[in-house]
Amino acid sequence: MIELVNTMREVGVVIPAWNEEHDIQRVLDTVGPVEWLAKIVVVDDGSSDNTLGVSQDCARKYSRMVVEHLPDNQGKGAAMLAGMRALPNEVETVIFLDADLIGLTEDHLTRLYTPVKDLQCEMSVAIFKDGYWRTDWSQRFAPNLNGQRCLPREAAKQALGPLAESGYGVEIGLTLYARRNKWRIQYVSWQGMTHDMKEKKLGWREGYRVRGMMYQQILVTWFREWWQARRAEWTSLRESGT
């Protein structure tokens, strides 16, 4: 279990983004003015649209916001890791946010950060409620796929290293890693929150293609983490002679 100390004052935000030119400004204009955030890192993950340009325009408005550009699309896990590494050393707590959120407020960020700040858990995870029926439904049945998370930087560093190539599987990978290492996880209700559906952003054909790729990466990550856990159990049993 990660050792927590009640000295977490510097909070950073990492926002991985891939082809989010129509949504990302809404998110950045929400987090940019939040005074208790020490640094905001936007990671353009090789977007083919104007995500990079929109993000750079926002960064010019907010002095604590920077933009990292990955020339080639490396996947969400790699983008999250790159963003965390770009945070200054004094940042001790990391909030990860998606770039297509709808309804985000400073209060949502505070609710996500507070359980970690107060040492109630090693990781907090947001759950959307009353934003849109499709996201409400998906959050009810698969809360561990939510990308809105807060955790100590050291914990994020330990977890994300092995998940850098997991793509969209990074969220389920984080949850399984946390459970395997006996982290405490607290789920936080985000009232009135949703996000843009891929089919709306990309069109039905491309949206379904990307959604299929997302679920494939989630399943691959889940199976890999499950297999690693089983192997560790078998090794422990053999070593104990039982």
| 92-145 pLDDT, tens digit each | 999 999 999 999 999 999 999 999 999 999 999 999 888 655 666 666 666 666
Contact 222, 176 (CB under 8 A): yes
Residue 8 has pLDDT above 50, yes or no: no
- Chain centroid to CA 115: how far? 17
Residues 15-36 as b or e (16 or more Cβ within 10 Å = b) = bbbbbbbebbbbbbebbbebee
What is the per-residue pLDDT for 6? Answer: 46
- Look at domain 11-240 and name its CATH class: alpha beta
**Could you state, in order of their start, the residue ranges of all structural domains in the chain?**
11-240
Which amino acid is present at 158?
Q
Please report where in the chains the tokens 């009810």 appear, as a residue.
140
Is pTM beyond 0.85? Reply is no
In the chain, pLDDT over 70 holds for what percent of residues?
79
